[in-house]
Amino acid sequence: MKTGNQSFGTDFLLVGLFQYGWINSLLFVVIATLFTVALTGNIMLIHLIRLNTRLHTPMYFLLSQLSIVDLMYISTTVPKMAVSFLSQSKTIRFLGCEIQTYVFLALGGTEALLLGFMSYDRYVAICHPLHYPMLMSKKICCLMVACAWASGSINAFIHTLYVFQLPFCRSRLINHFFCEVPALLSLVCQDTSQYEYTVLLSGLIILLLPFLAILASYARVLIVVFQMSSGKGQAKAVSTCSSHLIVASLFYATTLFTYTRPHSLRSPSRDKAVAVFYTIVTPLLNPFIYSLRNKEVTGAVRRLLGYWICCRKYDFRSLY
């Protein structure tokens, strides 16, 4: 058997989300709409946090970082998928596939760790409010964000470097709508069982450990919340934590399902359906769950809209 990558410099073919030609136009409209809404929501949330000084807190700093990740995350896979619905060409360059894999893994790992840090922020704010300014200082927040980005990038670099030096000597047809490691491994013509254990280990560290930390944090938060005598305080704490838990559960459940299963239990159609949740649905829901379930964000939106309306009225009257 030849060693080295026999497919370097060639194209891969992406099967896409569905293979039914008659609904491609409809799928393009749906995906393009979801993509636009997700971009708009995340961009608005980022600017809202930046412009409103009341939101210049550790919680919203981490939330703005999450929105930046989601903004890049959905832009990594969806445009290519949407274009493929209307185009006969479903090819992706070897280098393009490699870059897409790296960026996707880096952003996914970063988001997984950021969600864990956000749960720690809520745990400290509710369970140790007097120590919050010290435990969640600006320096510590910046270190958390740097740790999330660096860890996600290093993990992605190692996996991407290893996968793309493997011999792709089978079909170059990737049964997926983007270049994802599990889908690429099915094209490799050598035994990858040992490497799959490495993927499993990475998934447990990057995904499962933060998720368990989130569950432990919120278990403690709920205990403290229900010991509060103030019903208003309970409602505010539960609202804040539940919105975070919804996003986290959706993201971790679907990514763990994909990256911790052995190759023998995989189904391409099921993997693609599950991938839709963490590539499209999560980045779409994130800004709206936080804004609709959070009184501070909705209040900031009202104040910003009120200021904008007043400015528009003043400009209109100044014309006469």
pLDDT digits (tens, 9 = 90+) for 219-230: 888 888 877 756
Q: What percent of the chain has pLDDT over 90?
A: 46
Under 8 Å between Cβ of 215 and 266: no
pLDDT at 314 over 70: no
- Of residues 87 and 193, more confidence is placed in 193
Tens of pLDDT, residues 247-272: 788 899 999 999 988 877 788 888 99
Tens of pLDDT, residues 84-94: 877 767 889 99
Tens of pLDDT, residues 3-38: 444 444 578 989 888 766 667 778 888 889 999 999
Of the listed ranges 88-97, 144-153, 292-301, the one predicted with least confidence: 292-301
Which pLDDT band, with edges at 50, 70 and 90, does 154 fall under?
Answer: very high
User: Mean pLDDT across the chain, nearest whole number?
Assistant: 84
* pTM of this prediction exceeds 0.85: yes
**Domain at 11-305: CATH architecture:** Up-down Bundle (1.20)
